[in-house]
Amino acid sequence: MALTDALRKADELGGEGRYFDAHEELEAFWMKASGDEKILLQGLIQIAAGLHRLKLYPAKTDGAFYLLGRGAEKLAKTRRLLEPESLAALEVALSGIRDSGKAPGSLVFGLRPASGNYPQG
């Protein structure tokens, strides 16, 4: 399923600290998505872009934090598509990033589709 593939790709690239590449790869999935899946992917794209910006410009947090916040809002709106634990873990990670004011060297986003919505394979 496309959403599962997108989440796996985001994890792979985020885990390598390649936030810009994660943003770019997710856009390909986003262009083909619709409805809540499109909103979810847009949120993850915004988070990846925010992390990339924070990594490049650590002294300029406003824009990065704006993107992280907007992305988190979109994920919250589409929470029914995600395993609650995976969303909660990412929210905690984002809160820690905002508190520290620093982008982690890498971040596995860890989002998983909710059971029953998509195959987990």
Task: Give, in words, the CATH class of 2-100.
Answer: mainly alpha
Reference 104, options 8, 17, 11; nearest CA is 17
User: Residue 92 and residue 116: Cα distance in Å, rounded?
Assistant: 25
The number of angstroms, rounded, from the C-alpha of 77 to the middle of its chain's C-alpha atoms is 13
CB 51 within 8 A of CB 20: no
pLDDT at 92: 97
Domain boundaries, the chain: 2-100
pLDDT at 116: 61
pLDDT at 68: 98
- Has this prediction a pTM greater than 0.75? yes
User: Residue 108 and residue 29: Cα distance in Å, rounded?
Assistant: 18
What is the residue-level pLDDT of the chain in tens, covering all 121 positions? 589 999 999 999 999 999 999 999 999 999 999 999 999 999 999 999 999 999 999 999 999 999 999 999 999 999 999 999 999 999 999 999 999 999 999 999 999 999 865 444 4
pLDDT at 115: 80
